[in-house]
Structure 1
Amino acid sequence: MNDALRALSRDELEKLLVIYAKNLVALDGTWFQSLERREGMDAAMRHDVEAWRRFSRVEARRIKAFLDLEEHPGLAGLARALPLRCQSAANADELRFDEDGALVYRITDCRVQNARERKGMGFHPCKSVGEVEYGEFARGIDERIGCECLSCFPEATDATCNCAWRFALDA
């Protein structure tokens, strides 16, 4: 860390964290849109899936170490880790445990979908990316955790959120 960052107050650091999260989402969107324009949606999606496959495991490993989680922290560990993901500071999200004890994670206000809508681009069909992104992140926290999509574009079934994911321990 440099001296400029060390000199910031807690309030300034919190504001900067949100800026960093928004910047990360913007960077992800700009490379994706560049590839989408040049090579088409299918090619952009293939590259997006692979980028998130690798990044999600790295992000999970770093957050798991930051939280000092045990090797198999289960859904409780995942519930601590999900809100600390880079995108969580940029999006509005919520977590809850359902009646079966599974963890449900919902993004209720997504910067990516908002930006595409503002630009008249149509919603990003992110389900296939999300399945990899959230699945890999969950397994990076505890390899016993499985991930199921409840709602996500292009198969959004829940109008109260942009996407919803359910995590459970595999039997």
Structure 2
Amino acid sequence: MKPSEPTTLEDLTEVIRQLAAHYGLWMAESVHQLGLEAALDAEKEAGDRFFGILSGKLARALGVTPQEILAGTDQETLDKLGMALRSAWLAADGVWFQAIEKQADMVTAKRVNDTCWSRFSPLEARRAKDILGLPDNGGIPALKAALGVRMYAHLNRWEFTDETENSIVFRMTDCRVQTARKRKGLADYPCKSGGITEYVGFSNEIDSRFKCECIGCPPDEHPEEWVCSWRFTIEE
């Protein structure tokens, strides 16, 4: 596109695509060069600065203040926008998996998937702690609060069961991915290895005392009432 040509929707989506890819590549290479802990610290600093800059630039382009970007937008529309973005996140996860599976095989795709979750889950947990103001080692109350603001929390149906003073069970009662496969007559996607990586990483970032146990997750057999189930126990 020449500078004099009008910007199109395709131009904007291409900018978003490259912005997301570049940000993600910085995160991935930071993990490679510095390790996950330092990379998460760097993402906190860079992310806070970047999204402040982004809000300011969008506001100036629209001729408003950052607080006015979505002013006047009704709650129903905001909810729909939030759901659209979260479901797009899930779609991105799916199309990447399929692309790697096509390039290589299922085993390679699962290995890439699990590696991504080993980095994203601690990041998501840190973001939840920051957004909610949760303390370090906040125990079961902090884990419940953090799980409630995850991407998946808005896409799937889930529930908690309090077992003891130091343990809870978290169940996914309806999973978009598995429900979609069921509609197509497909078997459950075997997500257990990724789930272990995901929930161990997330819970340990919330509180390092947590032990995460998989009660059941595909390819395990499971009842109709839930798709996967996880026990989180505080080990003193």
TM normalised by structure 2 equals 0.67
Structure 1 contact 25–111 (Cα < 8 Å) conserved: no
Structure 1 contact 156–163 (Cα < 8 Å) conserved: no
- Partner SS, residue 103 of structure 1: strand
- 1:28 corresponding residue in structure 2: 93
Structure 1 contact 24–87 (Cα < 8 Å) conserved: no
Q: Displacement of 1:6 after TM fit?
A: 4.1
Q: Displacement of 1:122 after TM fit?
A: 2.8
CA offset digits 1:52-100 (Å, max 9, x no partner): 0100011100101111011110011001110110111111111221146
Is 1:45 aligned to 2:117, yes or no?
A: no
Amino acid at match of 2:132: L
- Partner SS, residue 70 of structure 2: helix
CA offset digits 1:22-57 (Å, max 9, x no partner): 111111111112222332211111011000010001
Q: Displacement of 1:102 after TM fit?
A: 1.1
Is 1:16 aligned to 2:81, yes or no?
A: yes
Supply the distance in 2 between the matched residues of 1:76 and 1:49 (Cα, whole angstroms).
27
Compared CA separation, residues 119 and 159, structure 1 to 2 (3 A): closer
Q: Which moved more, 1:119-128 or 1:1-10?
A: 1-10
TM normalised by structure 1 equals 0.91
Supply the distance in 2 between the matched residues of 1:145 and 1:158 (Cα, whole angstroms).
26
- Partner SS, residue 18 of structure 1: helix
Supply the distance in 1 between the matched residues of 2:166 and 2:215 (Cα, whole angstroms).
15
Which structure's relative contact order is higher, taking Cα pairs within 8 Å and 6+ residues apart?
1
Map 1:36-115 to 2 at 5 A.
36-99=101-164, 101-115=166-180
Supply the distance in 1 between the matched residues of 2:220 and 2:165 (Cα, whole angstroms).
24
Is 1:166 aligned to 2:198, yes or no?
A: no
- 2:217 corresponding residue in structure 1: 152
Specify which structure has the higher proportion of helix: 2
Larger Rg: 2
- Partner SS, residue 98 of structure 1: strand
Supply the distance in 1 between the matched residues of 2:78 and 2:179 (Cα, whole angstroms).
25
Q: Which moved more, 1:53-62 or 1:96-105?
A: 96-105
Structure 2 contact 173–227 (Cα < 8 Å) conserved: yes
Structure 1 contact 151–158 (Cα < 8 Å) conserved: no
Count of matched residue positions in the alignment of Structure 1 and Structure 2: 171
Instruction: Give the RMSD, CA atoms, in angstroms.
Output: 1.8
Instruction: Structure 2 unaligned segments of length 5 or more: list them.
Output: 1-54, 59-67
Supply the distance in 2 between the matched residues of 1:6 and 1:156 (Cα, whole angstroms).
48
Supply the distance in 2 between the matched residues of 1:50 and 1:159 (Cα, whole angstroms).
29
Structure 2 contact 114–194 (Cα < 8 Å) conserved: yes
Q: Displacement of 1:15 after TM fit?
A: 2.1
- 1:131 corresponding residue in structure 2: 196
Instruction: Structure 1 unaligned segments of length 5 or more: list them.
Output: none
Supply the distance in 2 between the matched residues of 1:11 and 1:77 (Cα, whole angstroms).
28
